Amino acid sequence: MESKKVIVAGIGTEVGKTIVSAILCEALKADYWKPVQAGDLENSDSITIGKLISNSETIIHPETYRLKTPMSPHVAAEIDGIQIAPKKLVPPATNNNLVIELAGGLMVPLTSDFLNIDWIDQAGLPVILVANYYLGSINHTLLSMEQLKGRSIPLIGIVFNGEKNRSSFDVIMHQTSSRCLLELPQEKEITKKTISEYARRIKL
């Protein structure tokens, strides 16, 4: 069977992409790759994934760019005296399934004229969108989905994260033809057991 490769994108930053990526890695026994890590290098998302998964098949591939400052990648790269080269952002070769986690939302710039969504286009892979319940999340979710639709980028579905807001959920589902893959409640602590439990529940 051909391996699955998926991109995990968020409607914004800090919406739960890394937790969802860990769940996907566990559910699919998939490898993990984050093309660009900006800031927190000693506690990176790659390190977090390694701490949360239980399976022995996942390989965590090194980031192409490790930037020191927790800012938009194009600015963080400038501070480090480099420029991100989109052609170097090539998914690692693997026979395994692969989960790719973006840095920030779809419209985050990697360079002044190349956005995350441009890279998704370049990669030619489907997306799982992570949404969080906060004031403005309906707008951000629908705008993100319109961007994907406008570029004919396949959307596998949405993962909703945080304490459920029924009215927000209902509007998003009514306005789109997408699937809800999983609803993640607000957890006090995320552990390997938590990840394994949700890996069994996610609808892929």
State how many domains the chain has. Answer: 1
Q: Which tens digit of pLDDT belongs to each residue from 71-130?
A: 999 999 999 999 999 999 999 999 999 999 999 899 999 999 999 999 999 999 999 999
Please identify which of the residues 17, 34, 87, 203 carries the catalytic annotation. Answer: 34
Domain of residue 192 covers 5-201
CA 103, 193, 37: angle at the middle one, nearest 5?
Answer: 15
> Is residue 34 annotated as a catalytic residue, yes or no?
yes
The model's confidence at residue 165, banded by pLDDT at 50, 70 and 90, is very high
Structure tokens, 153? 């980028």
Sign of CA dihedral 62, 67, 82, 34: positive
16-37 tens-digit pLDDT: 999 999 999 999 999 999 999 9
**Residue 2's pLDDT band (cuts 50, 70, 90):** low
- Give the pLDDT score at 14: 85
The answer to whether 37 and 100 are in contact (CB under 8 A) is no
Taking the C-alpha atoms of residue 121 and residue 125, their distance in angstroms, rounded to an integer, is 8
Integer-rounded Cα Rg, in Å, for the chain is 16
Residue 64 sits in a domain whose CATH number is 3.40.50.300
Split at pLDDT 50, 70, 90, the class of 187 is: confident
Confidence of residue 67 (pLDDT cuts 50, 70, 90): very high
